[in-house]
Structure formats: C-alpha cells, structure tokens
Amino acid sequence: MINNTHTDNPLRFVAACRLPTEWGEFTMHGFEELRSGQEHVALSMGIINDGAPVLARVHSECLTGDALFSQRCDCGPQLQAAMQAVQAKGRGVIVYLRQEGRGIGLINKIRAYQLQDQGLDTVEANVALGLPVDARDFVLAKHILDYLQVASVHLMTNNPQKVATLNRVGIDVVERVPLEVGQNSENAHYLSTKAQKLGHILG
C-alpha cells in the first residue's frame, strides 16, 4: 500500500551550477513547482548540511528593486547585504522565492505602485485592488531548506512576522539578524508604513 502520510512536496529539484558573483562563488540550486511550473532558486556557500544553524535570507522576488535599481523599496540593497554577509561567514544560504510583489505578481505590483503614486500607502493600495496585503507562501522555503538539509537558521530579516511564519512551517529560526540597509528619501514613507502596519523592526 502507498504511504500517503507524508506531506507532498510541491517542488522538485532540477539542477545546480556555480554562480560566481561580486560576493564570491555560490552554488545556485534550481527548483520548479510541480503544479504551476513556477521556478525558484537557492544560493548556497560553504558546507551547510552539517546540522549547525546556517546564516540565511529568505528573499522575495522584487524585479524593480533586485534588478532594476528601484529606490521605492529596500530589496536590492538587502539582497546584496545578505550575499555579502554570507561571503563574510563563508557559509550560508539565500532562498530566492519568485513571489513578486508579496505574491500578487509584477503587473499587480505596478498597479499598486500607480495607486501609491496617487497617495495610497503600500497596504492601502493592495486592499484597494482587492488583493491580499501579503500572499506569500513560505512553505516553499521549508521544502528548499529541507532539500539542502538545513534545519535551523540565523535569519536575516526585519520582519518578525516572517520569523513567526517560518517557525510555523517548520524552519527553526534560532536568531533574527537585522538587515537594515537601502534607506533613501524615496522609500522613507514606504519603510515607515512597513514598520507601522506590517510590524517591521526598523531602527
């Protein structure tokens, strides 16, 4: 009889390669969601499957910030700082989830930004569009970390909700490591809204 008691893994590992970067050489592991075909990656450095807690970042895709140098948010500088921190330790992992716009997708994020240009804040804009404020699924990170044999992490984030969510899905977050970079005059209001409405800890 087939044993169906285990939770189904929504992802499959596809391939891994070297990824030389400005912050040293990572291994890039590629995953695919079985249902949607959505692709995700993890960047690892050093030996991370030895059971000791690993310095980790669970980063959500932000095309505008990560790749297009947008100053509307702090995502690009956060990603770079996380990669740099991993390099400094010689050991760590960046899980990069393709959950653009906190899961609403790129075009909806542009719609939300359009409303923000008219005065709404990051939360009000999603609500006005009838979209969830945060639709991200962090179970994917759990499956990716399981594949990499990482059970506990020092998590680089300013979002205590993310710590709680990851703990809930089975990732043991032994410590939250603040990741406060990328503040500028364009994103000052956005960051203060995140602190006030989404609970981000920003000094």
Lateral strand order in the sheet of 54-60: 11-21, 24-33, 39-45, 92-97, 54-60, 152-156, 172-177
Residue from 42, 54, 55, 75 touching ligand GTP (CB under 6 A): that is 75
Among the candidate windows 38-46, 79-87, 88-96, 152-160, which touches ligand GTP by CB under 6 A?
Answer: 152-160
Instruction: Give yes or no for a contact between 145 and 31, defined as CB atoms under 8 angstroms apart.
Output: no
Which residues, 6+ apart, have CB-to-CB distance to 167 below 8 Å? 173
Q: Is 111 in the site for ligand GTP (CB under 6 A)?
A: no
Give the CA distances from residue 162 to residues 37, 171, 200, in Å, rounded to whole numbers and listed in that order: 24, 11, 9
Residue from 162, 166, 173, 182 touching ligand GTP (CB under 6 A): that is 162
61 labeled part of a ligand binding site:
yes
Instruction: Give yes or no for a contact between 48 and 148, defined as CB atoms under 8 angstroms apart.
Output: yes
Among the candidate windows 5-13, 14-22, 97-105, 166-174, which touches ligand GTP by CB under 6 A?
Answer: 97-105
| For ligand GTP, the closer CB: 29 or 200 | 200
In the complex, the smallest distance separating the C-beta of residue 3 from ligand GTP, rounded to whole angstroms, is: 36
Choose the contact partner of 100 out of ligand GTP, Zn ion, none; CB within 5 to 8 A by kind.
Answer: ligand GTP
Q: Tell me the number of residues near ligand GTP by CB under 6 A.
A: 22
Is 136 in the active site? yes
90 labeled part of a ligand binding site:
no
Q: For 103, which DSSP code?
A: G
180 labeled part of a ligand binding site:
no
Q: What is the C-alpha end-to-end distance of the chain, expressed in Å?
A: 56
Residue from 29, 109, 111, 143 touching ligand GTP (CB under 6 A): that is 109
Which residues, 6+ apart, have CB-to-CB distance to 11 below 8 Å? 31, 32, 33, 34, 40, 140, 143, 144, 147
What is the Cα–Cα distance from 13 to 140, expressed in whole angstroms? 12
Q: Give the catalytic positions in this structure.
A: 134, 136
Give the residue numbers of the binding site for Zn(2+).
Answer: 62, 73, 75
Which stretches of the chain bind Zn ion, using CB under 5 A? 62, 65, 73, 75
